[in-house]
Amino acid sequence: MKLLTAAILFAAVASAQEPPANPLITVSKNIYNISKNDVLGSVDKIPDDLWSYRPTPDVRTVGQLFAHIADGQYEFCGVVAEGKVVSKGIEKTATTKAEIVPALKEAFAYCDAAYTKLTDANAAEIAPLFGMRITKLGAMDFNTAHNMEHYGNLVTYMRLKGIVPPSSTPRPAAAKKK
């Protein structure tokens, strides 16, 4: 019985340490999810009355930043989803929080679906992006970089208004091990 228990425990530990089937895509998607969660967490933290806020006249408002991020999901992830940059024009057409938030969530869902089409094998395929030739994985990672660039804008806006951004919000303490 002890030998059987030891074998089961060894198998459980060994399987927990095996890399995922597509480690490149898994890591890329995990980092993308950080950017997505930070952006969507900002939606929840920024009150409605600040959606028209802009620190200076020459920068986007909070709402325009969220709409711009939504557009980016289609532009970058379209390379994987449809083989081309997709333009939705959300920043030009959606002006209220009630219009922008659903569009932003749909845009992130579009990218989530694009990730399901990727494997480590096809991630190296070359596709067009803004006049460049880039790998499909490169387009997805470019999207994450774009998300984080504009999340940085949102962080500045939030800090100027005394709001702690999602990435700086203390995490709940992990459950104590017994």
| Confidence check: pLDDT of 59 > 90 | yes
| Confidence check: pLDDT of 9 > 50 | no
- pLDDT tier at 20 (50, 70, 90 boundaries)? confident
Kindly state the average pLDDT of the residues 151-167. Answer: 97
Q: SS3 of 57, please?
A: coil
Q: Are 161 and 53 in contact (CB under 8 A)?
A: yes
Say which CATH topology domain 21-163 has. Answer: Four Helix Bundle (Hemerythrin (Met), subunit A) (1.20.120)
Report CA-CA distances (Å) from 77 to 1, 104, 113: 52, 14, 9
Nearest to 120 by CA among 133, 107, 135: 135
Distance between CA atoms of residues 64 and 94, nearest Å: 9
Domain ranges of the chain: 21-163
Q: SS3 of 175, please?
A: coil
Kindly state the average pLDDT of the residues 58-81. Answer: 97
What is residue 17's predicted lDDT score, i.e. its pLDDT? Answer: 66
Q: What is the pLDDT of residues 93-149, one digit of tens each?
A: 999 999 999 999 999 999 999 999 999 999 999 999 999 999 999 999 999 999 999
What is residue 5's predicted lDDT score, i.e. its pLDDT? Answer: 42
- pLDDT tier at 170 (50, 70, 90 boundaries)? confident
